[in-house]
Chain A
Amino acid sequence: MQVATRDAYGQALKELGEQYPEVVVLDADLSKSTKTVDFARAFPDRFFDMGIAEQNMMAVAAGLAASGKVVFASTFAIFATGRAFEQIRNSAAQAQLDVKVCATHAGITVGEDGSSHQSVEDIALMRVIPNMKVVVPADGPSTAWAVRAIYHEPGPFYLRLGRPKVPVVYDGVAGLKIGRAVKLREGRDVGILACGIMVSESLQAASMLAAMGIEATVLDVHTIKPLDRELILETARATGCLVTAEEHSIIGGLGGAVSELTASEYPVPVVRVGIRDLFGQSGQPRELMEYYRLTAQEIARAAQISMSQKG
């Protein structure tokens, strides 16, 4: 079963709007792509298209939030976090406002539009901002959970969503918590920490490894900030070597966050699977995943490399 995280977002946002009158949604002329259109059709009075003006969108979000609204502001990841970085930083994050930046079309699976529209940097950009929390759900069901969870937790959030349909990982989402990674599989040889679309790739990689007699732990690290230090360090201690996997640069994202943690608390080899400091390009989503080596095979390979680096 495959569901696009942006579709789950649109649906969940509409349901949230039914329940909570103070939810207001903004978009920057991409409503049919980000799926905020679902909310917009149901609650036209509470939806404001800001047009192709992302910086103003974030400042307007701040003003609405300062007036008691809980604001969901959407556009593509590169424009939200790139173009409007400083507005998110100075207006939403520094002032600790209820502005939830929910960006879709993150990563290279944007596909044919090409590099200008493919953010490989957004997790890095958002996590380095103080007060900001960063959530990267793996599938449709956990996206729906995340939308509700970030509504209930005060303060600014970055929710990272994608364009294509992706495999469903979660049967049920009870027990999911912001800041708590999920152990999807237990194994003593290597720990694979993934987020977003790389979670299902990681589960496939774990099966491949099992066929070779290697048992992997797989964690869905849906919250990049605040990182689940406890479970990640426990996994590092239990396995002795880690792999991280993300549809993002190997610089500054999940791999960066995990490396920072282990280097200072419990040094183990960390092999980072991700986009190797490159811009994206046009292509079909699956082709691009192969091209940039965001695959189960690559994760399995990385696991073996990480194991070989164990002291």
Chain B
Amino acid sequence: MREINQQVIDEIGSKARRLRREVIRMVGTAGSGHPGGALSAADMVACLYFWEMRYDPQRPDWPERDRFVLSKGHAAPLLYAVLAESGFFPQEMLGTLRRLGSPLQGHPDMRKLPGVEASTGSLGQGVGWAVGMALAARLDRRDSRVYVLLGDGELEEGMVWEAVMAASHYRLGNLVALIDNNGLQIDGPLHEVMSVEPIGDKFRAFGWETCEIDGHDIGAILRTLNEARQVKDRPFAIVARTIKGKGCSFMEGQVDWHGKAPTQEELERALLEFDSV
């Protein structure tokens, strides 16, 4: 088990800041996109790509790789930022988000961009893909682990629970779900639109090993991922309490920043905030 020390935490934290910066820049340049839910998950995604997962940007089809499924597909800018940062494609491509002909589609398209494991965007489906991948890994006796990131609003989709039920039934110890519990959806806070709490209890009731953590505490994320590796006979859920828009002062905790691009002026303000850290 690798050591989790302050240096590791600082390095990953610095990566997460870079990802956030890229997300805001990408969405601002594109003029549309989903910044809020991309920013809230940046720490978790940084932990996955810069600590937890085994993969090779030179061999995106390497069969032994771990897989990451972005079930909350609208957070695509975050996925694109981390794939670029990891070397799957040149950073310059990030400026083409959502443009006609770009491999960086509004929601991830596995046929268009290396490193994208699942075509998502329609909420609730990615977690089913993750179950399928975990089953395949076991069938093939591969050590590959599967990580799937869901939104909390996404848990309102019934098919999520079909997948959660199946993962438990098939004892998928190689599957980890991370729930970006930022408490906000498009029409308002979840507790006003359609309550899903208590999230952790629901996963426990379905037979998953479950943990609630601060989704911006990198040390906690890393320790929990380590813990998840010890659980071999059932899937693991990490319910991460997060702040939508985290890292950008005027986006934090705001419903409005789910699917809106910053103006040029707002973009400059945000980048200044990142650069001054």
Contact = CB atoms under 8 A, between A and B. Distances in A.
Interface in B147-178: 158-159, 162-163, 165-166, 169-170
B166 A51 contact: yes
A91 B125 contact: yes
B111 A64 contact: no
Contacts of A62: 118, 125, 128-129, 132
B132 A66 contact: yes
B159 A55 contact: yes
Contacts of B162: 50-51, 53, 55-56
Main secondary structure of the interface of A (DSSP, over half): helix
Interface in A229-257: none
Main secondary structure of the interface of B (DSSP, over half): helix
B135 A63 contact: yes
B159 A63 contact: no
A24 B131 CA distance: 14
A101 to B, nearest CB: 14
A48 interface: yes
Nearest to B63: A68
Contact of B139 (A46, A50, A96): A46
Interface in B97-112: 109-111
Interface residues of A, number: 28
Most buried by A among B119, B126, B137: B119
Interface of A: 24, 45-46, 48, 50-51, 53, 55-56, 58-69, 86-87, 90-91, 94-96
18 contacts: A51-B169, A56-B128, A56-B166, A59-B125, A59-B126, A62-B129, A63-B69, A63-B130, A64-B132, A65-B132, A66-B118, A67-B133, A67-B136, A67-B137, A68-B136, A90-B119, A90-B121, A91-B119
Given A66-B132, A68-B136, 5 more contacts: A56-B162, A63-B128, A67-B136, A86-B122, A90-B119
